[in-house]
Amino acid sequence: MPKTSTEKARETVKKEVRSVPIEKIIDEVIDKQLKVNPGIVEKDKYFEIPDKIVMFYKYSYGSQSRFFKTLKEDAKLSGTKCSKCNFVYFPPRANCSECYSDVEWIDISNEAVVLSSTTVWYSNSEFFDRVPFAMAYIKPVNADTAILQRIELNDKEYAEPNSKVMARFRKERRGAISDFWYELL
Amino acid sequence: MDKKEVAVVGIGQTKFRARIPEKSYFELAFDATKEALDNAGISHKEVDSAVFGIYNDLFERQIMPDTYIQDYLGLYGKSGTRVTTGGATGGYAFRAAYAEVASGLSDITLLIGVEKAQDNFDWSQYKSTPEVLKSIAYSADMTWEFPVGAYAASSYALLATAHMKKYGTTEEQAALVSIKNHSNAFKNPYAQSPLKLSVKDVMDSRMITYPFKMYDCSLYTEGASVLVLMNKDTVKKYKISDPVWVMGIGSSNDKSFTGFRSVHDALGNYGDIADLRNHYEAARIAYKMAGISNPFKELDVAELHDAFSFTELQAYEAMGFTTRGGGGRFIEEGHSLIDGDLPVSPSGGLLGAGHAVGATGVMQIGEVAKQLKGEAGERQVKIEKGRGLAHSIGGPGSSYATVTILGV
Ligand SMILES: [Zn+2]
């Protein structure tokens, strides 16, 4: 007798599972914290429970991939230049947003200048343990735009606008914006 | 098009509070909707459509929260659309609701702004705020800016430090905005943060992200704010005696990559990273539609979007209340105080009344309407010209801006 669709499903569901979902691991961490501090959820006036939304990705950089590949493999910055209006994009764009013309890839200088800057002392959950850190809009000498990036302050509290900075690169790079930073000169 | 085509005829809001755990987002929306419909003297059955201003799905713990609100409000069978434009959500939702009525698609539209926030909880730090900030920080560009550590306050701090460098604006001048708006909140029974502060209190409060100290920053808030909009004929049909008319709306979005804003581009005549270029453009469009040429002389009241104290100084300039770079002096001279020549944010603004994101812009437009009708209670300002302005902004580096002019 041919198998019914339910029977086929029953055979395959078990085989499809490779390991425990990562979400379950997070639940275990939260459950442990609740045992330590059960009063953290309110059950008298209203009823609260722990909850979460977790998403995982395998993200493609699309046409900007070339920037991240060059950054990872060669420790170099790259941007794009419009073939018609000569506008230099950094971060790079595969299309000119001003005139819709084609662009070509160019090398971007490590020398740059600070346009505006802030030093962060209180941040969101993902960066809560990393303060203080400084970030700034930084314009490389041969780009028409500025990029948001971290600045190593070298014991200063703040990077003044118009300060000169130089790009520095991590030894171990993974192809992300955190592979480089700027240092005050 | 002719002015006095679309009117605000009903206003309702919940109290703005840090957290309202006894109500869910759709229940908050219900409370403010009931009050607005009562205020207009109509039932929900007479409404043709709804526009929802809700910023952040991660706050509500729900993608498409609008459809669940529409169901809860018994508005099934009618059109419903959601607007989400960061901090400018309320102002832009008002634009959409206006368009709904002005186009003739609806005679009566409900504009519902609502937001939760503080159900977000950081289980590592045992507190809400860092997780609330994370929910918002995901609005930063996820490839280039979020991983650097960008979040709402740093994004606006980078505009402020540029303004300080270009125009010599000081932290003490920004502190005056904080003092004014926290003080105005004492007279607003719906407000979250009435506080009596001195310049020293603001200057001594803990650094958040330079130059913003704690009292330069609005707090996150939960609440709802609702308006009922009607076209001219329906206003007559219902014999509404005190309509507040929409005289002008202008909206403009700048480049979301703040570092791309340059004096050489199409908004370059308004300036660069130091200037709220799209706010200038939004104001220009709104004033043109409303026939206003000297806003400082022709407006009775303004509600500005002071998510951060410095931003209000920058907005004085962009709204044309003062000269370029004159924002700091404008408050030093007392023009924007509640008894000044042009009171700004008598509600307390975001600093004083709270920032319930999707509800904020709706609340501020509602405040201008109440002021123009003379129904603002203890915080009523003098109405002589019958014109008021509400400013609603948001997004990375304030990329969204919309300006609404109301009149009676
Ligand atoms: Zn071009």
Q: For an interface test with B, which of A63, A114, A122 has the most B Cβ atoms less than 10 Å from its Cβ?
A: A122
Confidence band, pLDDT 50/70/90 cuts, at residue A14:
confident
Please name the member of B136, B149, B273 whose beta carbon is closest to the beta carbon of A135.
B149
| pTM score | 0.97
Average pLDDT (A115-133) is 96
Determine which of A30, A58, A148 to mutate to test the interface with B (most B C-beta atoms within 10 Å): A148
Q: How high is the pLDDT of residue A1?
A: 84
Minimal C-alpha gap between B116 and chain A (Å): 15
Q: How far is the CA of A86 from the centre of ligand 1 (A)?
A: 6
Question: Ligand 1 centre from A83 Cα, in Å?
Answer: 7
Mean pLDDT, residues A55-74 taken together: 97
Contact A161 B22 (CB under 8 A): no
Would you state the pLDDT for residue B1?
45
Per residue in B74-122, pLDDT tens? Answer: 999 999 999 999 999 999 999 999 999 999 999 999 999 999 999 999 9
Report residue A131 as tokens.
């303060």
- How many DSSP H helices and E strands does chain B contain? 15, 11
Please give the Cα distance from B62 to B358 (Å, whole number): 15
* C-alpha dihedral, B379 to B383 to B387 to B390, nearest 10°: -10
In DSSP terms, B344 is beta-bridged to B302
CA of A114 to the centre of ligand 1 (A): 25
pLDDT at A161: 96
Q: Is the minimum CB–CB distance between B307 and chain A shorter than 8 Å?
A: no
Q: pLDDT of B178-236, one tens digit each?
A: 999 999 999 999 999 999 999 999 999 999 999 999 999 999 999 999 999 999 999 99
Contact B199, B175 (CB under 8 A): yes
For residue A19, the model assigns a pLDDT of 87
Domains defined for chain B, CATH in brackets:
6-120+221-232 (3.40.47.10)
pLDDT value of residue B119: 96
CB contact under 8 A, B162 and A116: yes
Please indicate whether, in this complex, the C-beta atoms of A121 and B150 are within 8 angstroms of each other. no
pLDDT at position A44: 87
| pLDDT score for A160 | 95
With an 8 Å Cβ cutoff, are B148 and A30 in contact? no
Q: Which of B158, B212, B399 to mutate to test the interface with A (most CBs of A within 10 A)?
A: B158
**DSSP-assigned letter for residue B218:** P
Of the candidate ranges A1-5, A13-17, A47-51, A132-136, the one whose mean pLDDT is the lowest: A13-17
Q: Tokens standing for B363?
A: 């609340």
* pLDDT < 50: residue spans in chain B: 1
Residues, chain B, total?
408
Query: In whole angstroms, what is the distance from residue B60 CA to residue B57 CA?
Result: 5
Q: Answer yes or no: do B122 and A125 touch at CB < 8 A.
A: yes
Residue A98: list chain B partners with CB under 8 A: 265
Q: Does B11 touch chain A (CB under 8 A)?
A: no
Position B3 scores a pLDDT of: 72
Tell whether ipTM is more than 0.90: yes
Q: Residue B113 and residue B97: Cα distance in Å, rounded?
A: 11
Closest CA to B408 of B373, B365, B366: B373
